[in-house]
Amino acid sequence: MHELLQQIFSGLAAGAVYASVALALVMIYRATDLVNFAQGEMAMFSTYIAWSLVTVGLPFWAAFLITLAASFIGGMAIERIIIRPVENAPVLAAVIVTIGLGLIFNSLAGWIYSYTVQDFPSPFPDRPLFGALITTQELGVIGVTLVMLLLLFLFFRFTKTGLAMRAAAQNPLSARLCGIPVGRMLAIGWGLAAAIGATAGIMVAPVLFLDPYMMSGVLLYAFAGALLGGISSPVGALVGGVIVGITENLVGTYLIPTQLKLTVALALIILVLVFRPNGLFGTAVVHRV
């Protein structure tokens, strides 16, 4: 029983990270109908930025905040420079662009920081808590994720820009007629998604260790989470991410060898696509002709 609870809590911590990346995917999908395959590599690159800042001697949380700001600006720049030109291109072309973008970030990270695995500092001392049910690291990851979600919720719910972003995602034409600069809203969306991804990367790096491939597995789990929740639903992404995290941990502990854990994500993706293509919280998209 104790081990089961332990596994659930560490699944919850992993799930928080998957949920964050899933949320970033959903945000971009809702705004631009585009799945950003570069989300993981963008997050990985952000984590390297944080790593450089910590390595040159900045305190962890300062490095964290600077990285978030840099990622936000970087995400906006990516939307403006790389995504905007393919905005009206067929969706496959745009998807290929994001895959290419992921490769670029991967190679860039390898070129600048080398492919050697790096140790990443954790702001949370790795101490067991509550009779070894959960570690401070896990609790910290969950806490940071919750704070980030709360801030996002407040932003989207109560600010003028947050409301305008929701409107632009829902009905871009009508948003334009209200005078909302839809292009700028999309850029902000990419910026936020990049910052969310950066948070996830920094939170998971002390556990996974940092190398240019660190986020590839995480991205797959996040996809599974986003699909499970319904790719168009932010709440779904969060619930889906957490379910995937817990499932992955339990299945990996009790049913299959750890090396095969990633197949859980694939199996889940296939199951969802076959039996419930809209996910748990998603709505069927109906296009009027």
* Residue ranges in contact with other proteins by CB under 8 A: 160, 163-164, 166-167, 170-171, 173-182
**CB nearer to other proteins: pick between 14 and 188:** 188
Shortest separation between residue 182's beta carbon and other proteins, angstroms: 7
Shortest separation between residue 165's beta carbon and other proteins, angstroms: 11
**CB nearer to other proteins: pick between 13 and 27:** 27
Which string of DSSP letters, residue by residue, matches 8-71? HHHHHHHHHHHHHHHHHHHHHHHHHS---TTHHHHHHHHHHHHHHHHHTT--HHHHHHHHHHHH
Which tokens is 79 given? Answer: 């939307």
What is d(CA 135, CA 10) in angstroms, rounded to the nearest whole number? 8
Shortest separation between residue 100's beta carbon and other proteins, angstroms: 29
Q: H helices within the chain, ranges in order?
A: 2-32, 39-55, 60-78, 91-113, 136-158, 160-170, 172-177, 182-208, 214-229, 234-254, 262-275
Shortest separation between residue 283's beta carbon and other proteins, angstroms: 9
**CB nearer to other proteins: pick between 179 and 257:** 179
**CB nearer to other proteins: pick between 124 and 155:** 155
Shortest separation between residue 186's beta carbon and other proteins, angstroms: 13
What is d(CA 94, CA 193) in angstroms, rounded to the nearest whole number? 17
Shortest separation between residue 286's beta carbon and other proteins, angstroms: 12
Neighbours of 250 (CB within 10 A): 15
**CB nearer to other proteins: pick between 174 and 258:** 174
C-alpha angle 231/233/235, rounded to 5°?
Answer: 125
**CB nearer to other proteins: pick between 222 and 238:** 238
Q: Comparing C-alpha atoms, which of 237, 204, 231 is closest to residue 218?
A: 204
Neighbours of 211 (CB within 10 A): 18
Shortest separation between residue 178's beta carbon and other proteins, angstroms: 5
Strands 128-129 and 134-135, how do they pair? antiparallel
**CB nearer to other proteins: pick between 258 and 283:** 283
What is d(CA 126, CA 108) in angstroms, rounded to the nearest whole number? 31
